[in-house]
Amino acid sequence: MAILRMLFSFLNNPRVIEKLAESRPIRRAAQIAAFAIVKAQIAGRGATATVLKSDTLRQVRREADGRIPRDVGDIGTRFRRVRETFVKEVKDGFRDAQGQIKK
């Protein structure tokens, strides 16, 4: 209990925080964290661009443009077409990824 209270008062001291912020390990940890955040943002933008260019997304939008299917068979046909397009894109993506890994 006393150790917790001491640690709490120690970490709430502005001078101690300033000294810690100037230390090499803390600066390096901040650099690594910033690098990881930027890398994740770049990867997220790339994934978003890929999805927006996707034929599957375009096909889903086209199929769901406000029309209500007349029967269950129509839903099955639409779903099958979307599924086939999605599977084709996944296979293409795997092929592209394997090509990049080999390079």
Asked if 85 and 59 count as a contact pair (C-beta separation under 8 A), the reply is: yes
Phi-psi region of 31 (alpha: psi -120 to 50; beta: other; left: phi over 0): alpha
Q: Which of the two residues, 17 and 98, has the higher pLDDT score?
A: 17
The reported pLDDT for the residue numbered 66 is: 60
For range 88-103, the mean pLDDT = 72
The two three-digit tokens of residue 72, written as one number: 């269950």
This prediction has a pTM of 0.42
Q: Is the dihedral of CA 51, 52, 57, 58 positive or negative?
A: negative
The DSSP code for 70 is: S
Query: Rounded to the nearest 10 degrees, what angle do helices 14-22 and 24-53 cross at?
Result: 70
72 band by pLDDT with thresholds 50, 70 and 90: low
Residue 99 has pLDDT above 80, yes or no: no
Residue 97 structure tokens: 């990824």
What would the pLDDT profile of 27-47 be if each residue is shown by its tens digit? 899 899 999 999 888 888 877
Q: Average of pLDDT values for 69-75?
A: 57
Confidence (pLDDT) at 70: 57
